[in-house]
Structure 1
Amino acid sequence: MTAGGSFPFTLRREEGAVVVLFGASHYHADSLTALSAALRRAVEMAMEEGGATDVVVDLSGVVLFSSTALRTLRTAHMELETHGARIVAAGGGELVGGVLKFAPFVRHYPDIDQALAALKAERDAGRRGKT
């Protein structure tokens, strides 16, 4: 699914996660409505099949991610957290990483593949621990 107008995003399912890929843009106070809509749809997708799955926010195309955008990410994370899931971030340049370092609630991985691999490893470890 692709949407977003001036602030494009794509949603897709991966094994055990919903991935939100944001297009090249700046996410700050002027784009919070679009960012919130994308995250809201990702949370809905993550909870569609009876349980919650994690959401990976791929920020590799994002140039700027402000502290106000981070608050929007936190709101979505808190909603998922009440259902036993979470948001993790992947990619992003120096400015994005600089903002995410102030977000102890979200783990940040260098790229989408590493984020998905880490989530899979955690799921696998959890299953092994229950048997």
Structure 2
Amino acid sequence: MDFSGQYELQSQENVELFMQALGIPDDLIEKIKDLKSVTKIVQNGDDFIIAIQTGSQVLVNNFTLGQETHVETPAGEKVKAIMNLEEGNKLVVNSKGITSVAEFNGDLLTNTITFGNVVYKRISKKIEESNSEEDCL
């Protein structure tokens, strides 16, 4: 399955609670909680570039399935992680107490992120194809 594309955030649940659990200051949460975000994914075999733009901030992570890499969290921390593909349509990562499952179903991307007992859910819809690495930078 090719996950490449551009996905626009449609809805999210528990965003404030999740950001508080990560230690993001309340004033920053207020500024960013209602901003729309767009996720751009470029896949080349087992190699991925994922760029998430929220407002003017862009978070870019590169990884190869099954290989340890360093990724940046939404809180700005660099952590070691291994991304895996499960059931053919789920990208799964566990790192530093956070589990993230990105599930692709048709033109929908559902990302469920669990930290402790807080579950943050984001649903995005595919808006256009993006197959070049330059589109993510």
Higher relative contact order (CA 8 A, sep 6+): 2
TM bracket (short chain): 0.3 to 0.5
Q: Which has the higher helix share?
A: 1
Give the TM-score taking structure 1 as reference length.
0.34
TM-score normalised per structure 2:
0.33
